[in-house]
Amino acid sequence: MTRIACVGITVQDRIYSLPTLPEGGGKYQANHYLEIGGGPAATAAVAIAKLGVEVDFIGRVGDDSCGNTLLAELEGWGVNTAFCRRYPNARSSQSAILVDQHGERIIVNYPSPDLGTDAEWLEAIDFSRYDLILADVRWHSGTEKAFSLARLAGVTTLLDADMTPQDISPLVALADHAVFSTPGLKRMTGLQSPEEGLFQATTQTAGKVYVTLGSEGSLWIEDGHLCQQEAFSVNVVDTTGAGDVFHGALAVALAEKNANKRGYSFCQCGCRDEMYPAWRSGRHS
């Protein structure tokens, strides 16, 4: 039985839907509101569970009501949270998200300063039990520790290489597979062209590199050649979490040894089917 671990953050998303995204100061009225779980690694874990694969989420939450809700929602979707760490007297992380009628969004994330960044406690987890480790870049020390332990155990690693204030190149160097967002690739390489940036990224890792391009699909390097998988045409409701779902589907394809053109098409299909947040059990108004 295939088993995957997702290491990183989970946050409570508060999603406000508006006709258009704000362009400046002022007061705006939302026509829809949703509270739902989010976070790159956690959303990928939900996608993996919905694809029928056993998955553990390894991350940190506070002991507040938000943390209770996040873990309960993950468990409700079939994600094992036994290896999560709960910090006493701590607030969990939150995000405010504005979404327009075309599905584009603005995300304002508040990473809780109450959650310790130490990752030494991951050493108590037997990473050899997994077929693949997927990690985001929002808990830098956690990803570094998890990938180091995975390498010692001979387990494949997949990095969600998105934007973060920290330099992610050490994490890219540790990853067997690094999937960049377009902004994440630009930030690391300093190059505007995704194609040029991707080739530049190959000089920083012995692993495979990919970049997601939103509605234009994704690119990756295969045997020194640039390959592309076009995106499917969809009626976009909300792009929040779409990339995370892609990462979850790619993790399944890699863990099940389906890392080829057909496998990437499968990932696009998974993303297409989840162009609304993967966690659908939220409070609406």
Q: How far, in Å, CA of 3 to CA of 131, rounded?
A: 6
**Extents of the domains making up the chain:** 3-23+30-278
Single pTM value for the model: 0.89
Q: Are strands 156-161 and 177-181 parallel, antiparallel or unpaired?
A: parallel
Side chain identity, residue 180: F
Environment class of residue 85 by beta-carbon count within 10 Å: exposed (0-12), middle (13-18) or buried (19+)? middle
Position 121 scores a pLDDT of 98
pLDDT at 229: 87
Sheet holding 225-229, edge to edge: 85-87, 54-62, 3-8, 132-136, 156-161, 177-181, 208-212, 218-222, 225-229
The structure tokens 């290489």 sit at 161
Contact 60, 116 (CB under 8 A): yes
So what's the pLDDT on residue 283? 44
From first to last of its 285 residues, the chain has per-residue pLDDT tens of 999 999 999 999 999 999 999 998 999 999 999 999 999 999 999 999 999 999 999 999 999 999 999 999 999 999 999 999 999 999 999 999 999 998 888 999 999 999 999 999 999 999 999 999 999 999 999 999 999 999 999 999 999 999 999 999 999 999 999 999 999 999 999 999 999 999 999 999 999 999 999 888 899 999 999 999 887 777 766 667 888 999 999 999 999 986 555 555 545 544 444 434 455 444 444
Read off the DSSP letter of residue 207. S
CB 270, CB 47: distance < 8 Å: yes
pLDDT of residue 241: 80
Q: Please report where in the chains the tokens 């099940």 appear, as a residue.
A: 256
Q: What is the pLDDT of residue 259?
A: 57
All residues at 6 or more sequence positions from 134 whose CB lies less than 8 Å from its CB, including other chains: 4, 5, 6, 7, 41, 44, 48, 157, 158, 159, 160, 247, 248, 251
Interior angle at CA 250, CA 247 and CA 254, nearest 5: 135
Supply the pLDDT for residue 26.
94
Neighbouring residues of 98: CB distance < 8 A, sequence distance ≥ 6: 16, 18, 21, 22, 105, 106
Answer whether 212's CB lies under 8 Å from 245's CB: no
Nearest Cα to Cα of residue 231 among 248, 211, 251: 211
Helices assigned H by DSSP within 13-162: 40-50, 65-76, 140-153
Q: Calculate the alpha carbon distances from 92 to 12, 63, 87, 158, 234 in Å.
A: 8, 8, 9, 25, 33
Q: Which fold has domain 3-23+30-278?
A: UDP-N-acetylmuramoyl-L-alanine:D-glutamate ligase (3.40.1190)
Give yes or no for a contact between 196 and 179, defined as CB atoms under 8 angstroms apart: no
Q: Is residue 79 within a helix (H) or strand (E), and if so which, with residue range?
A: none
What's the pLDDT score for residue 270? Answer: 47
